[in-house]
Amino acid sequence: MTVATAQAHPNIALVKYWGKADTAANLPATGSLSMTLDIFPTTTTVRTTDDHADRVVLNGVERDGTVRERVVRFLDHVRGLAGRDDRAEVVSWNTVPSAAGLASSASGFAALAQAASEAYGLHLDTRALSRLARRGSGSAARSIIPRFAVWHAGDDERSFAEPVEAPAIEMVIATVDAGEKAVSSREAMKRTALTSPFYPAWITSTAQTLESALEACRAGDLDRLGRITETNALRMHAVIQGSDPSIRYLTPVSWSIFDAVARLRAEGLRAWATADAGPNVCVICPPEDTAVVAERIGALAEVVVARPGPGSASREPAA
């Protein structure tokens, strides 16, 4: 019996991942760019056992059904790499307050990748760990990396995340609705690729957008990176809305936050909005503008401030 514990944080994409090139290996159709947060870590312990079945306990509740199946499939892959077939108990604590409405699959699978690979005796470097996390949830590949990460499109060998330098930014996260989303990102991605007439344009433009975003990062050009971030998010929501049946994640309150961010810019502040597959809105800004942005957006929704955070890391197992 071996045991390992690891911790990882959520990340928010500045250039989004939306579409797969391969579902089995979870390869993205385009690369993406993200900021790993310093808040809401997931801490996961994996203990190999002599039992006949894997056990999955999330936030103190034993899970079955699709949640468990997803974890078991992931463990099967780790066991395949390790040449082992003993089962495991996975105990995971996710500190995202349910009110924050942030997706936990990125931090969850990043922490699971690190803890499971260690418990099964694999010695993976950062690249291999990022490739492994990718199989659980695409965006988890980026939560392995501290601060800012680019996740490359490519085949299984080449599709990993690695660090990039970026201008100093902080993020004001506005919770519009903390509930479960109506359509999962997995299902919505599939529907977008199959039915949205804008999907081919989204793929070609996002590949170019990522190049421009990386150039802006290299140049330390926050204004350019900010514009790219907001435009890319709105393009993602446009391609999603173009699906049949249509899917809309942004609500009137989400739009009011995009409007408020535009007003802040008109007043001379530097702030840009983005949103994942849900109604919550994240606003990036330079650290000197965070307090004002948080105050203004805080009038429309509950807000929390995040800074660039650590990559995944091993922890001492809890007793």
Binding residues for ligand PMV (CB under 6 A): 13, 16-18, 32, 103, 105, 137-139, 185-186, 276-277
Q: Is the Cβ of residue 44 or residue 137 nearer to ligand PMV in the bound state? A: 137
Question: What distance in Å separates the CA atoms of residue 180 and residue 103, rounded to the nearest whole number?
Answer: 10
- Min dist CB 137 to ligand PMV, Å, is 4
In a 3-state reduction of DSSP, which class is residue 162?
strand
Q: Which residues contact 116 (CB under 8 A, 6 or more apart)?
A: 4, 46, 74, 75, 78, 88, 90
Distance of CA 226 to the CA centre of its chain: 18
- As a whole number of Å, the CA-based R_g of the chain is 19
Cβ proximity to ligand PMV: between 48 and 159 the closer is 159
CB of 18 to ligand PMV, least distance (A): 6
d(CA 171, CA 282): 6
Burial of 172 (0-12, 13-18, 19+ CB in 10 A): buried
Q: What is the DSSP letter of 204?
A: H
Write down the least CB distance from residue 119 to ligand PMV, Å. 23
Nearer residue to ligand PMV within complex by CB, 4 or 273: 273
Length of the chain: 319
Q: Which residues make beta-bridge pairs with 259?
A: none
For residues 13 and 216, which CB has a smaller minimum distance to ligand PMV in the complex?
13
Minimum CB distance to ligand PMV smaller for 48 or for 105:
105
Least distance CB 202 / ligand PMV (angstroms): 12
Min. distance of Cβ 270 from ligand PMV in angstroms?
Answer: 23
